[in-house]
Amino acid sequence: MIDFSPMRDGEVSYMDYAARENIGPAELRALSDESVDYLLGLLADLTNADIVFDPDDPDADDPFAVEGEEAIGWNFGHLIAHVTASSEEGAALSSLLARGIPASERPRYETPWRDIKTVDQVRQRLEESRRMRNAYLETWPDAPLLNIVRDVSERFTARFGEMNAPAAFLFGLSHEVGHYEQIEEVRRQALAARATAS
């Protein structure tokens, strides 16, 4: 997986990085598939109980959560629901932008995390997300309009730079990759708790 830290730290914009590396649909598909495959690999040795295991997360702080859940640790299923939603949002935006639509709204839907309770459901959600992301890339025209950028706030643009089609896809994927350590830690805690219990 590419190193997103220069983009997250503001050293280079997502749009400039995509242009410099000549990133188009084929490269985005490969990066997305790599991420899905990595997350699927984290399912190895997990049981259904591990998917819903409540982790300890002293840094938990979600101001957008429903009342009473702002400081809960996110379980494995919750994290997968969250990161796949962000990657799909980026893919949907990329489709709009590549076709000349400046996209001011957020085309985001997140699977209710409480519905994801089993290893099979996590696997299904990840494969579904892979299919959806790749399908959005298939909607890019042969000559995508790379000069069309998202219609967003000046504050957003000042922080992340302008977002054209490849940049929007990368932005969603960067969010997913940014949660890798958290997902790995939840996995570690779940496996440790099961080992201790047995």
In the chain, how many domains are there? 1
pLDDT per residue as tens digits for the range 15-65: 999 999 999 999 999 999 999 999 999 999 999 999 999 998 888 777 777
197 pLDDT above the threshold of 80: yes
- By C-alpha distance, which of 184, 6, 168, 2 is closest to 87? 168
Rounded Cα distance between 174 and 4, Å, is 6
For residues 74 and 153, the answer to whether their CB atoms sit within 8 Å is: no
| pTM confidence score | 0.94
104 pLDDT above the threshold of 90: no
For residues 76 and 190, the answer to whether their CB atoms sit within 8 Å is: yes
Number of other residues whose CB lies within 10 A of the CB of residue 180: 16
Segments forming the whole domain that contains residue 72: 5-197
For residues 150 and 102, the answer to whether their CB atoms sit within 8 Å is: yes
pLDDT per residue as tens digits for the range 113-156: 999 999 999 999 999 999 999 999 999 999 999 999 999 889 99
Confidence at residue 134, expressed as pLDDT on a 0 to 100 scale: 98
Q: Specify the CATH number for the domain of residue 80.
A: 1.20.120.450
Rounded Cα distance between 108 and 89, Å, is 5
Rounded Cα distance between 9 and 4, Å, is 9
Report residue 80 CA to chain centroid gap: 8
